Amino acid sequence: MRKRFYKTFYFQIIPIFIIGFSIGVISIWPGIISGNSRKCFLRILKDGSDGSIKIETLLSINPNYLLKVKNTNNKYLKILLIGDSCFRKF
């Protein structure tokens, strides 16, 4: 009985969860598939990790997102807003 549970868990439940998670992320951020969008996201995170940001990076982000990111204290929400600015534009 226990062996059957693990077999079902590993071969049915985990792949369904991974596929569902992937479809959910792609539906929220359709640009995540594009290589340029990922480079934009990683460049912003890398540039802003030391506390100082280059002017080139600031100009690449929509001003509305900059205001939202500045007014947010939650780091997770900041990453979501940066993801929105990179992955939702085409």
pLDDT in tens, 15-40: 999 999 999 988 888 888 887 888 88
pLDDT of residue 22: 92
| Residue 16: both structure tokens together | 């369904």
Residues of the domain holding 19: 2-87
Task: Please tell me the pTM assigned to this model.
Answer: 0.58
Question: Domains in the chain: how many in total?
Answer: 1
Q: Residue 70: pLDDT band by 50, 70, 90 thresholds? A: confident
pLDDT digits (tens, 9 = 90+) for 45-60: 787 777 677 777 777 7
Structure tokens at 11: 């071969």
Report how far residue 44's alpha carbon sits from residue 3's, in angstroms, rounded to the nearest whole number: 46
